[in-house]
Amino acid sequence: MSGRKVVVTGLGVVSPIASELGAFWEGIKAGKSGIGQVQNVENIEQYPVTIAGEVKDLEVERFVDRKDARKMDPFSIYGVAASTLAIEDAGINSDNIDPERVGVLASSGIGGMQVMQNECMKAYEKGPRRVSPQLIPQMITNILSGYVSIKFGFKGPNFCITSACASGTHSIGEAMRMIKYGDADVMIAGGSEASVAMLGIAGFAALRATSRRNDDPEGASRPFDLNRDGFVMSEGAGMVVLESEEHAKARGAKIYCYASGYGRTGDAYHVTAPAEEAIQSSRGMSLAISDAGLSPDDIDYVNAHGTSTHYNDKGETLACKRALGEKKAYATAISSTKSMTGHMLGAAGGIEAAIMALAIRDNIAPPTINYTTPDPECDLDYVPNKMREMQINAALSNSLGFGGHNATLCFTK
């Protein structure tokens, strides 16, 4: 693919670890877990799963007017907050952009689950006339992109992609392509999720997809470990600002790295399980490497999807071997930061893209914490328990979603 070069100039995160970029990155480097006992769901003791990663201490009124916040689902609040932080980090303002050349591709895997469940309960308990007129606009996944564009006056491409846990990564990848093709000069892209709620916790528990290590919250997310027993649900948002290189340089922006490659494929296999042979997820990785004009030997670090489920971690290990070649795969640092953040579902790709950009900037591979017992079927270098200082010139970030949606980003120094 030819076209303009794309750079990352702004990062914004809202997470269970921290919602300020510096504190978040320090927490990731230190191996800090954001997982704990659920505080914001009534009667949580009745659920088979009582742990999650919840956003703490977010100063909502700094990002959203109090009156507006009362009607918004938390996923929109988190997404607006992360977008605002990314835009501030990039130094974007009305003096250095053309609003018609700035777009928003902010996504969610589930959308306004909390608004939907609360209004459903109201309809059953008090009758249909008591349902809020805000139900529909606040539950739809695209409303976040609308909120961000309205707040900042961005009039370029504006929509969302909903592909379960691959939503954030797909959004960043498609935004990269819009800039390469000249559809926009700047894009705000990523994902947001707020499904740590009655329906979310109960639904994933019914699937038996989530860890039941309720007595050890911080140790529950253990990607690639032999004793993993499921992912830990989490909430928050991750947004990045992408720009054409010439636009960024013209306004004197700081640049974290290049957004160089993107690949996406479909398993065509199963609604929830990844394909065992990992052919299509590995092909997505290969497409991202090729799109960046690189070879597998150029990849220094992989931020794995690494959910802490049996099938994902086994399959992703195989995908890395297929995409990189077995010898190179064993020599590549691969880690899952979900061991610390938990699984932020549609927001995961945005958060992990931000981590990848920081890893390249600082030459640090984040750790996979809680890695205590190696699994013979997961036998690569997962950067166990402690961060690693190393040269990182090129990195990949994988996201795999229910429905067989695979997406990989490649960022370079």
CB 257 within 8 A of CB 292: no
Q: Which two tokens stand for residue 75?
A: 């996923």
CB 84 within 8 A of CB 12: yes
CB 411 within 8 A of CB 353: yes
What is the C-alpha to C-alpha distance for residues 385 and 30, in angstroms, rounded to an integer? Answer: 9
For residue 16, how many other CB atoms are within 10 A of its CB? Answer: 26
Instruction: List the domains of the chain with CATH numbers.
Output: 6-250 (3.40.47.10), 262-412 (3.40.47.10)
- Residue 396, SS3? strand
Q: Where are the alpha helices (DSSP H) in 181-241?
A: 198-206
For residue 223, the number of C-alpha atoms closer than 13 Å in the C-beta half-sphere is 30
Residue 304: which residues within 8 A CB-CB, separation 6 or more?
A: 223, 316, 320, 334, 335, 336, 382, 398
Residue of 243, 262, 248, 228 whose CA lies nearest to 370: 228
What is the maximum span of the chain, computed from C-alpha positions, in angstroms? 64
Q: Which of 165, 257, 320, 378 is catalytic?
A: 165
CB 300 within 8 A of CB 393: yes
- Give just the sign of the alpha carbon dihedral 79, 176, 170, 288: negative
Residue 405 bears catalytic tag: no
Q: Which of 160, 247, 257, 305 is catalytic?
A: 305
Q: Which of 170, 247, 320, 343 is catalytic?
A: 343
pLDDT tens for each residue of the chain, 413 residues long: 458 999 999 999 999 999 999 999 999 999 999 999 999 999 999 999 999 999 998 999 999 999 999 999 999 999 999 999 999 999 999 999 999 999 999 999 999 999 999 999 999 999 999 999 999 999 999 999 999 999 999 999 999 999 999 999 999 999 999 999 999 999 999 999 999 999 999 999 999 999 999 999 999 999 999 999 999 999 999 999 999 999 999 999 999 999 999 999 999 999 999 998 999 999 999 999 999 999 999 999 999 999 999 999 999 999 999 999 999 999 999 999 999 999 999 999 999 999 999 999 999 999 999 999 999 999 999 999 999 999 999 999 999 999 999 999 999 99
Residue 247 bears catalytic tag: no
Q: Which amino acid is at 71?
A: K
- The structure's pTM equals 0.97
For residue 367, how many other CB atoms are within 10 A of its CB? Answer: 24
CB contact burial 106-138 (16+ within 10 A = b; e otherwise): bbbbbbbbbbbbbbeeeeeeeeeeeeeeebebb
Residue 343 bears catalytic tag: yes
Q: In what order do the strands lie in the sheet with 236-244?
A: 158-159, 102-107, 186-193, 236-244, 6-14, 257-266, 405-412, 394-401, 301-303, 333-335
